[in-house]
Structure 1
Amino acid sequence: MRKPLIGLIGMVIITGCVATASEEPSLPQAATLTNPSVETHAELQQAIANLLGASRVVISDNAFTQYSQEVIERAPHKDANGLLIMGRSTDIPDAVQLLKQGDSCLLQHVQSGKAITLSQVRCKLEDAQ
């Protein structure tokens, strides 16, 4: 009578461990955009602006379609006539990375580690180079 009970308890414990392990969230992995559109482009620009604390950010139409990371530089200073003001910029560019975690796509500021979950963007794991 004790042997079947011990076996049953062992099976319950093993099943519980397997169920718990499979429910753990996966680690975010580098990803690329699969549904580029006007809407996703706008969402990416807004998310980057939020991560960087900027009022507005401009990215290319093909951002995140080939690579998971983009480098964001500050716009150069211009005078009232629109001409570049000479001088050296010592600002370090910011990097942002598109990540896939489970079924969600995230945008992460690489330097700070802050991330935003994207609602319109669909992504796939980045191809190994």
Structure 2
Amino acid sequence: MLKPLIGLIGIGLISGCVATASEVNASPQAATITNPNAQTHAELQQAIASLLGVSSVVISDSAFTQYSQEVIERAQHKDANGLLIMGRSTEIPDAIQLLTQGDKCLLQHVQSGNTANLSQVRCKLEDAQ
């Protein structure tokens, strides 16, 4: 009678480990920021610049608060008087997505798949629209 009970306990422990492992390996999901402030805004700008390989980017204060994805375009060229220089830009804008995986928030450059972990940003699953 004792051997079947030990077998059932072992099966329960193994299935518990499998569930935990699948939670850890859960795929990232679209998210929005829950704690927008100056510190998180600066971290987002720095992480995006790093992902794009540029020195700095400008994003709105409300970036990632309603939607998980933002589009980043290169600044338009201006002349010495501050007027836009006419011309056609053929560059495709970059898409950046905020994701959550477990209790982590991260940014992903959609085109390359590269990611950056965020330490100050807190996020939640994006609301279905």
Structure-1-length-normalised TM-score: 0.91
Mapping of 1:62-73 within 5 angstroms? Answer: 62-73=62-73
CA distance in 1, matches of 2:35, 2:4: 53
Match status 1:106 vs 2:106? yes
Give the aligned partner of residue 92 of structure 1. 92
Gap regions ≥5 residues in structure 1: none
Residue 9 of structure 2 aligns to which amino acid in structure 1? Answer: M
CA distance in 2, matches of 1:106, 1:5: 47
Give the aligned partner of residue 27 of structure 1. 27
Residue 108 of structure 1 aligns to which amino acid in structure 2? Answer: Q
* Structure 1 residue 4 displacement after superposition: 3.8
Runs of 4+ displaced beyond 3 Å: none
Residue 58 of structure 1 aligns to which amino acid in structure 2? Answer: V
Give the aligned partner of residue 121 of structure 1. 121
Structure-2-length-normalised TM-score: 0.91
Gap regions ≥5 residues in structure 2: none
* Structure 1 residue 6 displacement after superposition: 4.4
* Structure 1 residue 10 displacement after superposition: 4.3
Match status 1:12 vs 2:5? no
Using the TM superposition, name which of 62-71 and 15-24 deviates more.
15-24
Identity %: 69
Q: Secondary structure at the match of 1:121?
A: coil
Give the aligned partner of residue 74 of structure 1. 74
Deviation string, structure 1 residues 100-124 (Cα, Å, up to 9, x no partner): 1111111111111111110110111
**RMSD over aligned Cα atoms:** 1.4
CA distance in 1, matches of 2:111, 2:5: 51
* Structure 1 residue 27 displacement after superposition: 1.6
